């Protein structure tokens, strides 16, 4: 069980990194203000995540509120992938998010 819990933590970290990369790529490629959005979107993601979602956040949400915010934040890169016509990667990313959030709920780490 500890191995699965640790694997979920690694998955969470990788999902967060991928979300930042996807947001940045989307901002630089798809939007009319590439420099501003390509850098601004990941920074906004980091600020929100650090304030309310990170394990050592000062104002960390609990329970369903945390689950909803994580779902919302991690689903934005899925939408970005859809807008970039990367449907296969959007589906894979969405399934990995679902797996991570399900395991987090099971282990009560949400």
pLDDT score at 109: 84
Rounded Cα distance, 64 and 67, in Å: 5
Residue 54 DSSP code: S
Say whether pLDDT at 94 is over 90.
yes
Q: What tens digit of pLDDT does each residue of 31-65 get?
A: 999 999 999 999 999 999 999 999 899 999 999 99
> What is each CA distance from 23 to 49, 66, 74, 91, 100, in whole angstroms?
14, 21, 10, 16, 19
The per-residue pLDDT of the chain, averaged, comes to 96
Query: Is the pTM higher than 0.85?
Result: yes
């Amino acid at each position: 069980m500890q191995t699965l819990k640790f694997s979920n933590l690694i998955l969470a970290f990788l999902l967060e990194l991928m979300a930042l990369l996807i947001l940045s790529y989307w901002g630089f490629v798809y939007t009319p203000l590439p420099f501003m959005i390509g850098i601004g979107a990941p920074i906004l993601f980091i600020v929100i995540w650090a304030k309310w979602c990170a394990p050592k956040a000062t104002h960390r949400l609990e329970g369903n509120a945390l689950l909803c915010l994580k779902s919302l934040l991690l689903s934005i890169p899925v939408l970005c992938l859809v807008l970039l016509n990367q449907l296969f990667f959007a589906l894979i990313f969405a399934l990995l998010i679902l797996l991570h959030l399900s395991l987090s709920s099971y282990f009560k780490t949400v």
